[in-house]
Structure 1
Amino acid sequence: MQQTQRRIGLFVLLVALYVAGGAYATELVGGPAKVALFWPGSGIALAGVMRFGARWALFVPIGGLLVHLLFAPVPLVFLPWSLASNFIGVLVGVSLLKRAQGNDPLTVDFGLRALAGGMAMAATSAAIGTVGMVQSGIIALDALPAAIALWFLGDLLGVASIAPAMLLALARRERRRVAGGTGYAAEPEQLLWNVAMATSYLLMAWGASLGGNYALGLVALPLGILVWSALRFPPLHTALAIAVTMLLIAGMAGMALAGYPAPVHARDSASLLSFLIAVAALPMILSFAMHQQRASAASLTQRANTDPLTGLANRNAFEEQVRAALAEPAAPPMALAYLDLDHFKLINDTASHVAGDSMIRGIAGVIEAHRHRDDLLARTGGDEFALLLRNCTPMVAEDRARALLRAIEGYRCGWDGRMLATPASVGLVACQPGQGDYAQLLSQADAACFTAKEQGGNRVCLASLDGGELLDRTAAMKWVVRIRESLEHHALELHCQSIVPLRPELKDGRHFEVLLRLRDPRTGELMMPGRFMPAAERFHLGTRIDREVIGQTLDWMEANPAAAATVRTCSINLSGDALIDDGFIGFVTERLRRGGFPGEKLCFEVTETSAVRDLARAQRFINEMRGLGCRFALDDFGTGFCSFNYVQALDVDYFKIDGSFVRDMDSSPLSLAVVRSINEIAHVLGKHSIAEHTETEAQRRALAELGVDYAQGHAVDRPLPIATYFAAPARGFWE
């Protein structure tokens, strides 16, 4: 019922507007052609039918009939011609306009097509109407050409000046789009524009009152103000300004007001109408062009700041918004939340990445639903989100984060007959405006989130800017960045340290361990593994480093065959991750196959702590690598109390006695006993023993007396860059 009433109301409004336009036009009828100088009804008709459809075109003949009955009586024989001319004309114009692709009234293309449709409408209407004028005896046949031209131009002026304003005013969606646009002038400039436009009208009237042949040239003043509107204001503003201006100028000229002479000859009327059509059309086309430019710029900005999968703000937009919030001097307490989904990779691997995208969109909706109105939300990465919680204390922020995690845990995404779900972890950092910058806050929140995941996930970890553990984690993350850069640029440096025999019968070539160093590209400082390897292992970069060390070592040996020929055993440390990396053996196999360095000269050192995690898997790894000829050493042996229980399960060639026992042999009977026991067990099992961190001659003698096979430490030599190491004579039996 309400819809029907609304349609009736709109129909009546269109009829009323058409009648008002016709009443205005009847005041402008004159000259030998007896045609109205300006017909606003053509613009009203085109806009109304274009907006509501051909069925609404009946308001045109109804409105035309009322105009003739109330304001412009005509011979009865001419009435059908008049009504048919406007009715058929608007149907032709709208049909031509709708036939083309794209009906967005805020584009230059649509504006030009609307002008072409208006020309077709005006031409059809003029042809029918003027023929009716001749048939009904209103004009003579010889006045037909002038009547056609003036009818056509009068209708076209109505289309050019009235249709844009009508069409934009009737299209509510377009009004919202324009109202939400950016880059338009502020209110003070609009006020200044209003004053300028009113002044131009007054100057135009004042100039005409003074007389002269060039008074109409003052119409250029409103034209300039209209161009200003086209450049700085929304299209609807410009369209309304054009409509008012054309009604005013046509009225002043057609009714000879303010000193303007009324056009007497048809050519005078045609010249005036052609000029006014140009004045109406050009600013409107310019306004559409400027709006398209603004819309394109806004679209590019939105794409740059929006995550395409979820429609949320992306990382860059979120950073700008948070920096602005932190800069507010009187802002209430806030908290930055970093949310990461737990085990999301499993969904991608088992269900597909498309299913993962669907899950991400669903969880984004869950977070959005739980977001307070003033909170800022963004998707910052694959399965990562960030929230700035406003106006909340740390306790409140933690409660809100827990509620959000419960909602995410309860969310289910249907996919291919299955219900997918995943929990999440949140890291929180409470902050005050001016306290810490965005990068520091995000780093702390990310570190707190990582801590939450390490603790089992599906929990909230609240951090503070001075939290020691989280600062340590942040430092580790910075190390990870530096390590990755070094790996990408092959910037790791290799050093070598000799492992020398303590018995002469073992002397048969260079035996050394490859040691890793990292040179800081900014300071040139050479950093020991103890500074960066904990971070590398914590973030699972051990295997990448192992591959890099093996690759660089073999590259150097293959590039220096003479030095490689002196090598008996080249020992390389392996991380615990290498033992469980299914692709590591394939990497070593391929690298040895395409190189010239024999696998029999390689000895891989694994720590007992990494091997004991999964003895069966470690032994399988050793067996497969032995198939390539490689040997093995059990590094840091003796640090675990259960060491002696599993030595038989690991088929290694060397036991490397942990340096802590070697250093303390002189002062600790227990350390001496451990060294003696490890050496004896090694010999019982047919293995060789190596004493790490041998620093003094006294330790060497004690080790030799115990029957230890090899020694390694500063008492032998210090680690040297690989090229320098091979440039020096080989260290043999330590006498």
Structure 2
Amino acid sequence: MVDHADIQARGLHGSTKVLLLGGLCLLLQQVPISYRIDFFGEQADASLIHLHAGLLLAIAMLERDRRVVAGCFLLTFAGWTGRQLYFDQWQPGPVLAWGAASYLFTLGWSLVCAQWMRWPRAPGQRVQRRDLIRFAAIGLLLYPLALSLAGFSIAAISTSALAISSAFQMFFAKQFGVAVVTLPLVVAWRERGYPTPRLDVGSHWMWPVMLGTGLVLSLWMAVLVRQAYMADGAAPRLVLMDYRFALLLVLGWGMLRLSSRWAMAALSLTLLLLVGMVAGTAEYANSPVGFFNLLHITLELNILLLAMMYLWLTNRDRFELAERLSSETLRDQITGLPNLKALRERVARPLARTELGYLLLDQTDTLVAGFGLDTQAQAMNATARRLEDIVETYYVGTGQFALLPKFSRDADLWERVMARVEHAEIDAGGQPMRLLPYLGVAAFNGTQASVIDAAVVAASHLAFEARHHGELRPRYSDIGDTQLRRTHRRQLHDATEALASLRNERVVLYFQPIRELADVEGEPRGLMGEVLCRLLDERGEIMSPARFMAPLEAAGRGAELDLAVVRALFRLLRKSPAALPHCREIAINLTGQSLASMSFQVELRTLLAGSPLPMSALCFEVTETAAISNTAAASHLLADLRALGCHIAIDDFGTGMQSFARLRELPVDIIKIDGSFVRNVAQLGKDHAVVQASVAVATAFGAITVAEFVEDEATEHCLRQLGVQRVQGYLYGAPRPLVDVLAETAAEAAVFRS
């Protein structure tokens, strides 16, 4: 339904526009640059510029309501009619009819030219450099030329000499009016609300002032010289065009330094001044030389207009491009969140507290590997939004944020940050996920980039230390924690050395046996146990897992380690063909990073295709934490391995007993109870209850139970009573080099055959 009140309000608004703009046209109609023209004996006083013509074309270009445009033309025609009646002693004549037809044609022609120049435009669309070509061809040439030809039609009611004079007057008057008013006004109107472009280099205000002062002094001295040498005593004229190069420089400075409003006003006033200065030349336009001189001046004015507009538009575009690029460098390209550079700029301004937090979200690499960058970006943005009312967030990398407090007095700020992130559920591919937060907090003193970087490094060390120890509380430190720095440098060194060992195949495999409790007193039925990895450093010394596992996983190289272990295992097995028939079950550990890596899965299937052992003799162990944190990815990989005939074991069971519901989704053949519960199981305390519950869970899942870290007979006896089926620990054998174990197995097989 049409809202009549809305129509009435819009009509009132349009009427106001007509009165304001039409009134301005009437005022400009009264601003002449007078000169006397003589064509074929027809002498008349005329104006060299029709400023209202330029305003009317600008209105046609800017105003989308054509009724407003028509109203402005009607008011302007009314003003012309009143003046014409005054000159004709209030006697209407044919000139009025011709004027009405002329204004009606001008209205239609203005709308057509505006449309050809692709105006009016939607709000927000600005003048571009490519518009200058259309404006030069249509606005500065075609528009006044057609109006001058229309003015020639006065010959129907007057003499041909008057018609030629009228056409001449209208061409230059309309042309100068458009040049002085139209384009500067359109640009100034469209640039409202946009920042002022600034010139950064060579923009000191002194040099344009000095140049302008020199220009004024030069003009004054030119007047003095002309007065001294004018023989006929005629009044000297200022010829400003003689100083157009100096004027170009001053005006160019204004284009680069002033706001759009003042720059366009300066350009328009300068052009108006130049038109006024050449009015004397127009009096001689009835001669061929004078006419072409006026055309030459008109061309120079148009070139000046277009050159200044091009300079202004180019500077505006350059400024906005620089601002956009600068803004983009302050944000991460994937998430759109402020980055470390934005943090460095932010600390230059007053802060609520000179304290910085470093938030580390665990398992975010799984989001990228399992769901893609878009899901990871959504998760990071969701985290930032959840914290935006208490801290400023700056994105450092995948799952890592630098945080600045927003309030000076908030004693439990960092604890609240941890609580908000820890209890937030993230939608990852339709599945709810929770990312464990780890937080380091460091104080800083200063705004220099080096100080802020040091604070970020210190806080990040604390966050990674918290993750290493599984500490879900903020860790605090000051900037001078040298022990933390030494720890970090040692970790970096270990990671570098471990990567070098992997890539140079300096991998040594150890083997720890696993026994069936039913076979402990009898002969073992084949080789069954777990493969353990060791690396050799450059000196040939063995690196323990404590030195290289955490650094490799922190560097994202867990999958590379797992593949290296499988390759080394298959090489050793191929070198001991006699031991292969006696290999009952060989267990291989997989890291959480391997579960989330598609490239790992492809490479592992390729290796398994050339396995020297049947698939039923291979068992892959995954820690409970990694399996539950990557449930979807783990289910897919482990199901594929199980379909090939491999066995699947959940290692360190009991550390994540709150996640039995998710564990139900995994294909499980073996559950290995974490050794921290097995060590004290014989004391019949809480650990005994945990082991008992683990056995019950394994039974419900139809899985075999294996107890780790069995070191004495009392523990073995207790495990037997609880129904544990397999055991592993120093009571049955310490880890030994796999090559020795395979050699002994082959030797025992040879003795048995003989």
Q: Give the TM-score normalised by the residue count of structure 2.
A: 0.65
In structure 1, the residue matched to 2:184 is: 165
Q: Quick one: distance in 1 between partners of 2:129 and 2:251?
A: 17
Letter in 2 for 1:158: G
Q: Quick one: distance in 2 between partners of 1:401 and 1:84?
A: 73
In structure 1, the residue matched to 2:25 is: 18
Letter in 1 for 2:187: L
Conserved 8 A contact 1:634-1:652 = no
Letter in 2 for 1:193: P
Deviation at 1:485, TM superposition (A): 8.8
Match of 2:252 among 194, 219, 227: 227
Q: Quick one: distance in 2 between partners of 1:486 and 1:89?
A: 77
Distance 1:196 1:7, change over 3 A: farther
In structure 1, the residue matched to 2:143 is: 121
Match of 1:30 among 37, 46, 61: 37
Matched, 1:610 2:610: no
Conserved 8 A contact 1:409-1:424 = yes
In structure 2, the residue matched to 1:464 is: 477
Matched, 1:87 2:107: yes
- 1:26-71 deviations in whole A, cap 9, x for unaligned? 5246343855322222221222232223222222342354356459
Letter in 1 for 2:95: F
Conserved 8 A contact 1:427-1:447 = no
Conserved 8 A contact 2:654-2:674 = no
In structure 2, the residue matched to 1:532 is: 548
Q: Quick one: distance in 2 between partners of 1:540 and 1:216?
A: 71
Q: Quick one: distance in 2 between partners of 1:339 and 1:403?
A: 12
Distance 1:195 1:572, change over 3 A: same
Deviation at 1:251, TM superposition (A): 0.9
Match of 2:204 among 189, 192, 199: 189
Q: Quick one: distance in 1 between partners of 2:423 and 2:509?
A: 56
In structure 2, the residue matched to 1:288 is: 313
Distance 1:152 1:565, change over 3 A: farther
Conserved 8 A contact 1:335-1:430 = yes
Q: Quick one: distance in 2 between partners of 1:352 and 1:478?
A: 29
Conserved 8 A contact 1:605-1:634 = no
Conserved 8 A contact 1:165-1:240 = yes
In structure 1, the residue matched to 2:325 is: 300
Q: Quick one: distance in 2 between partners of 1:274 and 1:579?
A: 74
Distance 1:145 1:300, change over 3 A: farther
Paired-residue identity, %:
15
Matched, 1:320 2:344: yes
Q: Quick one: distance in 1 between partners of 2:25 and 2:402?
A: 56
Conserved 8 A contact 1:335-1:389 = yes
Match of 1:438 among 452, 463, 467: 452
Listed as ranges, the matches of 1:631-650 within 5 Å are 639-642=679-682
Conserved 8 A contact 2:395-2:401 = yes
Matched, 1:387 2:403: yes
Letter in 2 for 1:169: A
Letter in 2 for 1:44: L
In structure 1, the residue matched to 2:607 is: 591
Deviation at 1:614, TM superposition (A): 9.2
Letter in 2 for 1:14: L
Q: Give the TM-score normalised by the residue count of structure 1.
A: 0.66
Q: Quick one: distance in 1 between partners of 2:560 and 2:315?
A: 56
Conserved 8 A contact 1:380-1:386 = yes
In structure 1, the residue matched to 2:589 is: 574
Matched, 1:267 2:286: no
Conserved 8 A contact 2:708-2:728 = yes
Letter in 2 for 1:62: L
Matched, 1:177 2:194: yes
Conserved 8 A contact 1:30-1:36 = no
Q: Quick one: distance in 2 between partners of 1:263 and 1:231?
A: 36
Letter in 1 for 2:194: R
User: What is the CA RMSD across the aligned residues, in angstroms?
Assistant: 6.5
Listed as ranges, the matches of 1:195-206 within 5 Å are 196-197=211-212, 199-200=214-215, 203-204=218-219, 206=221
SS of equivalent residue, structure 1 residue 189: coil
Match of 2:76 among 45, 58, 63: 63
Q: Quick one: distance in 2 between partners of 1:14 and 1:382?
A: 57
- 1:489-514 deviations in whole A, cap 9, x for unaligned? 746631256999xxxx99x99x9966
- 1:154-197 deviations in whole A, cap 9, x for unaligned? 323322332233223334xx222143x4x435997356435534
Distance 1:427 1:142, change over 3 A: same
In structure 2, the residue matched to 1:78 is: 95
Distance 1:201 1:451, change over 3 A: same
Distance 1:121 1:577, change over 3 A: closer
Distance 1:68 1:221, change over 3 A: farther
SS of equivalent residue, structure 1 residue 130: helix
Gaps of 5+ in 1: 626-631, 662-670, 693-707, 714-718
SS of equivalent residue, structure 1 residue 25: coil
Matched, 1:109 2:124: no
Deviation at 1:108, TM superposition (A): 0.6
Distance 1:540 1:288, change over 3 A: closer
SS of equivalent residue, structure 2 residue 356: strand
Deviation at 1:574, TM superposition (A): 2.8
In structure 2, the residue matched to 1:493 is: 506
- 1:565-608 deviations in whole A, cap 9, x for unaligned? 67776977636869999999998676333344666887889999
Deviation at 1:114, TM superposition (A): 3.2
- 1:599-631 deviations in whole A, cap 9, x for unaligned? 68878899998256699989x989589xxxxxx
In structure 2, the residue matched to 1:696 is: none
Matched, 1:44 2:55: yes
In structure 1, the residue matched to 2:117 is: 97
Distance 1:592 1:447, change over 3 A: same
Match of 1:516 among 502, 520, 534: 534
Deviation at 1:381, TM superposition (A): 5.5
Conserved 8 A contact 1:609-1:640 = no
Q: Quick one: distance in 1 between partners of 2:611 and 2:264?
A: 77
Letter in 2 for 1:493: R
- 1:645-684 deviations in whole A, cap 9, x for unaligned? 88999999999987xx7xxxxxxxxx7x779x79x99xxx
Letter in 1 for 2:24: L
Conserved 8 A contact 1:344-1:422 = no
In structure 2, the residue matched to 1:155 is: 174
In structure 1, the residue matched to 2:355 is: 335
- 1:365-421 deviations in whole A, cap 9, x for unaligned? 5655x26xxx754455667654323672xxx244456677888899999999x9999
Conserved 8 A contact 1:107-1:289 = no
Conserved 8 A contact 2:507-2:534 = yes
Deviation at 1:279, TM superposition (A): 1.5
Deviation at 1:246, TM superposition (A): 1.0
- 1:675-727 deviations in whole A, cap 9, x for unaligned? 9x79x99xxx99999869xxxxxxxxxxxxxxx7x7766xxxxx79x8xx99x
- 1:278-333 deviations in whole A, cap 9, x for unaligned? 2222221232123223323333333343357876x4324434325x53xx7x9773
In structure 2, the residue matched to 1:217 is: 242
- 1:464-498 deviations in whole A, cap 9, x for unaligned? 23698994998499569938993997466312569
